[in-house]
Structures are given as C-alpha cells and as structure tokens.
Structure 1
C-alpha cells in the first residue's frame, strides 16, 4: 500500500507541513516513538477542531494511520495549536459590531506567555493538562508559532457551553490546582519571575469588556437556549 500523502503537504492552510509533524513526533513524542515508530504510515490528515471554542488560535487534530492498521480506530492522533487572529479577522470581514481589531490584541505576546509556561514548568505540570512535545514562538513576518501537544480526547472529554461539572470532576480540578500551586510556591522564583509579561489592549476599559461579553452570552441564549 502506497502512502496517501506528501511530506511537503501543509497542515490545513498553515506553514507547518506533514514532514514537520512527523519529525516532531519522531523526535519529541516518546509514546509515538516507542509504540508506533516502526510502523509504516499510510496517511496523515489534519482538521481544525477549534470552531467556536477558541479566539486566539486554531487547534488542528492530526490523525496518522498505518499500512497495517487493523481498523479505522487503529490510528495515532496528536494536536497542533497555532496562534493567530483568524477569528477576529473573520468577525471584522463580516462586519460584526464591536469586533476587536487584531492589532490591539498582542496575540504573539500571549503565545509567548503560553510557550514560557510549558517550557518552564513542563516537569511540574499536573496530568490534567496535556503533555507539550514542542513549542515555537510566533515571530510575525518570519514564521508562525505553535504548540505541538498530546491529544487529550482519549483520556478526557470536552464540555458543551451549558454542561455542569460533577463532584468527581470538581475534585479532580481542585487536586490538580493544589498540586500545581504547591510546585509553584516551592520552586525557585528565578525560573519564572519576569518571564510572563503581557499587555492586552483589547478593550479600553472593563465596562466595554462586560458589555461585549453580555451581548455574546445573550446571543447564545437566543440561538441555543438551555434545556433545564
């Protein structure tokens, strides 16, 4: 069976290619190397799963299938998160009222903060967060940024807008937060202090932010009312 992809093919419309993804998996993902590294790959695909769930990035779910795959579930999945102003550009193109301008958002700095977090605390992050295999800063005009990370869909689940957490889920979150707070309080401040500067001029003041959020929430109620 011949491969159904070219290593130079791009992941959706981004700068990242299938070849880059496979190199990152082979170099940085221990689980992939140990369990899938010797299997011949038949196809690689990617799709954006972030629609309506994120504003400052797109999230690509990449699926790798193999020539000896037993069935359609015998694949390996991984996530590539790419920062950008995609959502805001689309809102402005559609003429959405009060849509913020991308140039005021400082998204590259926001991405840098996220990259620094995972790079500095990668050995202290609780298991409720994904393992990040590779990070790249976003340098506008030079190259896109990214976070190549674990796909949590096999050991977790996403919640819809109106879903509620049960007691076990709440306890799990609190346990993870307590663990991380302990690790943060006990670590050397020099490892992180001053490395998370961020300035977001998205709104002139808090009142405008609350007003915009209120309009968004009312839109959810109008288009998809909760069923209590």
Structure 2
C-alpha cells in the first residue's frame, strides 16, 4: 500500500515538492532554524515562493523533533524583518521627490496619484504595514512606501515584527500542531487562498486601468470640445 504524501512530508519535507520549493524545504531540513530564517528572507524578495507552503514545513520538522518550534518561529520573523528593512532602505534611497517624478512619467499615472497615495499612507501607514505583512505579494513591497515617506524606523520595525510574527506563528503553528494530518489541507487550501488574493489584486489593477483610460478619454473629449 503506497505511503500517503502527508506521511512522507513528516519525514522528508521536500517530498512531493520539486524545483525551488523543494530546495527551500530541504534547506530548512539541513540548516535547521537558520534555514527557516534564510527561506523567509528569500521569500521576501521572491514572492512566487509562498510562505504558506514553506512555514508549515518548518512546523513539520519541529513536530518531528528536528528543530525547536519557537526558534523556528523566531528565525522566520527575523528573516521577515531583515527583508523588510532592505525594502525600506530601497524606498528611502529613492526618496519622495524622485519617486514622485517617476510616478508622473508612468503611463496612466500622474502626480496627483502620488499625492493621494502619499496622503493615504501618512494617515494609515502603520495599519498598511501591519496588515500588509499578512497579504501575499503585498508583504514584499509594503516596506517601500514606508521608506519613501521615512516612517520612523522603530515604528516601522514594530509594525513589521508584529504582523510578521502573527503570520509566521499561524503557519508554523499549524504545521507543528497538526503534524502530517494538516498536510492535505495545506496542499489544497494554502495555494487556493494565495491565488484568491492574487486574483483580487489583478481585478483591482484591471479596474484601475479601465477607470484611468476612461478618465483620460473624457479629458481628451473635453479638450476637443
């Protein structure tokens, strides 16, 4: 009788995963808690690496006694924060004026868009950073506007640590708490949830593009009249 993939995952977290994901899971198995931190640091810069698939692998390893669950969670959170610091530094290096000029030159955007986004971030930046750490794709780039607007570094770090800690704790905890039993659920639903979020983001982008094109056409028609 063939062994269920979930049982194999408990003894070999890379089992059933090929390519880069398999390599990441094997990295955690080899380096332990340090590998977890490295994996999440890479995930910060390579959004196609879903933390929802990586972090439960760390939980499985902790369930098997091959790493400490608290140290795995801590390493994942440290990796998240370091990655966020790097993106924050990139945003700070770009600066407000340079970014505003860049936005004004982009198709379908103008300076008014930057000004509105800036006003929104000044008002809700802390909440955006906190909640953004729990949203696929967004969590990789929400640090950039924080750097551009020079959000106080200690405040940015606190929001990032809290949001990342909750997110990482959820997925590591699921892998540790349920062991092999959670694997079929994660295989089915973690990817689905990420895809739903990405589809919603794509729809928002499409809505923005359509709305902006219509506005440009209306402006052009008024000028013609």
Q: Identify the TM-score tier after normalising by the shorter chain.
A: under 0.3
Greater RCO (CA < 8 Å, at least 6 residues apart) = 2
Give the TM-score taking structure 1 as reference length: 0.24
Name whichever structure is richer in helix by fraction: 2
Give the TM-score taking structure 2 as reference length: 0.24
